[in-house]
Amino acid sequence: MTYPIKSAAGPSFVSDPKVNENVEMPPEAPCKCADSSATDSLHRFSAVMDTLSLLRKGMTVEKLPDRPEHCQLLYGDKSLMSRKVVASSLRCDSSTDSGKLEDREAEILAELGRMDRRTQEDYQQLSRLHSQHSEAMDVALKTEKELKIIFPFYNGAMERQSHDQQEIGSLFGELQEQYKILDTKDEEVGELVRKNQDLTRELESSRNKLFKLQNAEDIITRNDATVRLLENSLREANRRLTSMQGELNTLRQEKTEKSQPADKQDKDLAKVQPDPNVDKDTLSTILKEKTALSERIEDLERLLEDARDRSKAAQHLVNDMNNEMYAQAKQLLKLEKSLKSADRNASEHASAVKKERAEKHRLSGQLNDLEKHLSIAQHATGYYQKKAIDAQIKLIEQSRRIEQLENELRQKGIEETEASPDQAR
């Protein structure tokens, strides 16, 4: 029966460089694991599994031997002298006395007692080491079984992480495209808003012009009333002018008719000397009538001339106002067409802006959904990575515990190996 701790030629799991290389972990390994990816954690996970497999294969737990019996020379019936008489007679000369033999026997018995106690203590130590070795093997076997159970889970986690990374990349690319589309839509909406503002200003200007035209139309309406009033006044003036012309003609005719008797009377007076008293009154009356008639004729002529001037001025004013009304009517029609076109363009641009805003709202909703999916994928990736890191830390702790037990077993093996030559001597 062989034990790895007692034989240097036996199977040693300590001297295997692969095992030592995989078991030895730097103190900052957990910190590095915290910053490593899930793929690196899975590789380290697999390396620890291989290490534990090598450790378990290199460590053999055999049956503990029976407890050694106590030395029969110390607890038996026969004395040491009777057993060693031949050897003592060979080494001692005839002059050796029995006292020295007794001293020698006492020393040998004392040495045998120490060796017996040492043997019992070594067996107890061996039993303890055997228990620790069995415990370490149980831990290694349990760990290996747990690793075989959870390794597919973490392998699947790595595959899911890779798939999540690809999906995240795809979602991120789609998110970038959506952001570019949103930027383009924002620029288009901004341009439409600017056009809408320009059209709004143009519409406001057109409305102001329309208001002015409405005021001008009111003025034209009032001017129409004035023109009609002037036309009525002109017709009345023409009628009066005609009447005055007829009256003037009548007065001229009367003057002519009256001037003929007066001229005849003047001629008669020039031929005949009438009575001074009677002729003087008659002559004065005739002269007064003649003067009044002349003044009436002059007044009528002045009134007629004034009426003609006013009629001409009123006709010019009517013509000017008609021309102005025609020009303002043309401008009003033009502005009404411009206002209708501006209203139509403003309505079209408002509808386009409304559609763009609805499209932007829809794209914003899609962006929010993509961001939620991205957040969920990142959260799931972080969860699996944390699980892998926790498992890696647990495996490192178990590996360090096995390494500690291994060092203790190696130290005890060295001590037992050093003690074996002393016992042989």
Per-residue CA distances from 109 to 75, 79, 92, 295 (Å): 11, 10, 19, 194
In this prediction, residue 84 has a pLDDT band, given cuts at 50, 70 and 90, of very low
- At residue 422, the pLDDT reads 57
In this prediction, residue 204 has a pLDDT band, given cuts at 50, 70 and 90, of confident
Highest-confidence range of 123-132, 199-208, 407-416, by mean pLDDT? 123-132
Which is higher by pLDDT, 131 or 247? Answer: 131
Residue 176 has pLDDT above 60, yes or no: yes
- At residue 264, the pLDDT reads 63
38 C-beta neighbours (distance < 10 Å), count: 24
Highest-confidence range of 20-24, 127-131, 320-324, 341-345, by mean pLDDT? 127-131
Domain boundaries, the chain: 32-158+385-424
- At residue 24, the pLDDT reads 41
- At residue 109, the pLDDT reads 83
Residue 29 has pLDDT above 50, yes or no: no
- Euclidean distance between the first and the last CA atom of the chain, given in angstroms as a whole number: 23
What's this model's pTM, rounded to 2 decimal places? 0.36
In this prediction, residue 11 has a pLDDT band, given cuts at 50, 70 and 90, of very low
- At residue 423, the pLDDT reads 53
Instruction: Find the mean pLDDT for residues 124-128.
Output: 85
- Measured distance CA(397)–CA(403) in Å, rounded: 10
In this prediction, residue 278 has a pLDDT band, given cuts at 50, 70 and 90, of very low
Which is higher by pLDDT, 250 or 280? Answer: 250
- At residue 395, the pLDDT reads 67
Q: Which pLDDT tens digit goes with each residue over 258-277? A: 666 656 655 655 554 445 55
- Measured distance CA(300)–CA(312) in Å, rounded: 18
Per-residue CA distances from 267 to 253, 255, 288, 289 (Å): 21, 18, 19, 19
- At residue 316, the pLDDT reads 79
Residue 211 has pLDDT above 50, yes or no: yes
Q: Which long-range contacts (CB under 8 A, 24 or more apart) does 169-178 make?
A: 171/370, 171/373, 171/374, 171/377, 172/374, 174/370, 175/367, 175/370, 175/371, 175/374, 178/363, 178/366, 178/367, 178/370
Q: Which pLDDT tens digit goes with each residue over 97-108? A: 677 888 888 888
Instruction: Find the mean pLDDT for residues 418-423.
Output: 58
- At residue 73, the pLDDT reads 67
Asked if residues 232 and 351 have their Cβ atoms less than 8 Å apart, the reply is no
Residue 366 has pLDDT above 50, yes or no: yes
